[in-house]
Every structure is written in structure tokens, then in C-alpha cells.
Amino acid sequence: MRLITNEKLIARNAAIGKYSATAGLVILIGGLLVSLFKQEPEYQLIPFYTLIIGFILSNVGIYYSNRFVRAPRPDQSLEGALKGMDDKYILYHYRLPAPHVLVCPSGVYALVPKFQSGELLWDGKRWKHKGANIFLSLFGQEGLGNPNAEAASEVDTLAKFLAKKVGGDIPPTQAIIVFYNPKAVIDAKDAPIPAVHVKQFKEYLRKLPKGPTLSPEQISVLNAALGV
């Protein structure tokens, strides 16, 4: 497997996550101290402003930390899952409009990693997360959201990018949702967009038939456009 990873972006965003979370916590504590020890009228609005600013910074910190600090990161989980695959499998991290892209003999895929734990079920109309609760959300676990809409958006932007940068006969861009929390239990029967647990990801790919994908020449053009 070939890896093409934007390490600088990962390092930068990890720093944003750490500093934002720390700054948010400091500001929230500062506002609390002001509310406890400063009763003068001129200080009355300070706790309100620090609450807003601290909350925003804390959420920014959680967003970036979940993607670029918490181990294993999404890119690390995907890399580990595909370890041992040959050079026909090329994994791009944070180099393309879709954060994680796999080019392989069966096609071109936008990979949508999800870290939610618990039971994740496709009920025929939407995804349901049976392990979600307020307690987990308070400690940084994001909601499942709409993985299908997220995947469709990434497929669309990736396809347009490839058509512009590579040109020629571009193969259809597809998506795979990959859950990488060890405690996730997936039931994706009949889901319109394939979804697998990271432990089954390699085997899933091996079972896929060969399909239209980027040619070696197109890959060279793409990598040249990316400067890699």
C-alpha cells in the first residue's frame, strides 16, 4: 500500500485542537472565578462573555482533537486496516477535497471514518445510534450525524476535483463508511452506501470485483497536481 499523507496539516490541526481546548478551559475557569470574587457592577457581564468564548473554543478543541489528537486517529486506523496490501492500493490523507481517499483496483473511494461506539443500525431509512447518550457527548464523543449525506457530499466534491485536475475518462467516485471504534457494532444491511467496521475493511475490499479506477498515468497526473 502506498500512503500519501499531509503530515503538516495533521500537526497544525493537532496544535489547534490542544490549544483551543486549553484556552477554552482557562477562559471558563476565569469567568467562574470572576463571578465568585468580583461582585462589582462593572464585572457583571464578564462571566457571560467568558462563557460564550470558552464554550466556542472548547468545541473547536473537541472537533480538532477528535480528528487529529485522539489515538488512534482516523488516518492511523485506516492505515492499520490496510496494512499489507500491495502498491495497487493508494491511500490519500488530507490531500484531496475528501479527507480520506482510496484508489484501488475496484475503484476510487471517499472513505468516511466514524468513531461512534455502541450499536449503529441502518433501519432502511436512516442511521440509528443506539449507544448514544448525553454523558458521552459531554466528554467529547460527537453525534453520528448523517453519514450518507456526508459521504455523498465528499463523493461529489472529489469527483469534480478529479475531473478538473486529472481530466480524461474519470471513473465513478464511490464512498465507504468505516466505523473504527473497537466497541462499535455495525448492522448496515441494505444501506445505500456500504458501511463496515475497520476490522473487516481489508477483507471487504479484497472481495470487491475489479472496476473502473484511475490509470497509472492519471495517478501520476494527480500526484503531480498535488505536488507529491
For the stretch 177-190, pLDDT in tens is: 999 999 999 999 99
Q: What is the pLDDT of residue 151?
A: 97
At residue 142 the predicted structure's pLDDT band, cuts being 50, 70 and 90, is confident
Bridge partners of 200, per DSSP, are none
Q: How far is CA 130 from CA 34, 57, 89, in A?
A: 40, 29, 34
Work out the average pLDDT over 34-40.
88
Helices (H) and strands (E) in the chain, counts: 7, 9
Whether the per-residue pLDDT at 132 is higher than 80: the answer is no
For the stretch 40-63, pLDDT in tens is: 888 889 999 999 999 999 999 999
Q: Which residue has cell 449503529?
A: 120
Q: What is the pLDDT of residue 101?
A: 98
Least confidently predicted of 24-28, 38-42, 168-172: 38-42
Whether the per-residue pLDDT at 135 is higher than 60: the answer is no
Work out the average pLDDT over 144-172.
94
Q: What is the pLDDT of residue 136?
A: 54
Work out the average pLDDT over 199-210.
96
Whether the per-residue pLDDT at 137 is higher than 60: the answer is no
Beta strands in the chain (DSSP E): 2-5, 90-93, 100-104, 107-114, 118-122, 127-129, 173-179, 184-187, 195-197
At residue 228 the predicted structure's pLDDT band, cuts being 50, 70 and 90, is confident
Q: What is the pLDDT of residue 88?
A: 95
Whether the per-residue pLDDT at 74 is higher than 80: the answer is yes
Whether the per-residue pLDDT at 33 is higher than 90: the answer is yes
**pTM given for the model:** 0.90
Q: What is the pLDDT of residue 130?
A: 84
Counting every residue written for the chain, the total comes to 228
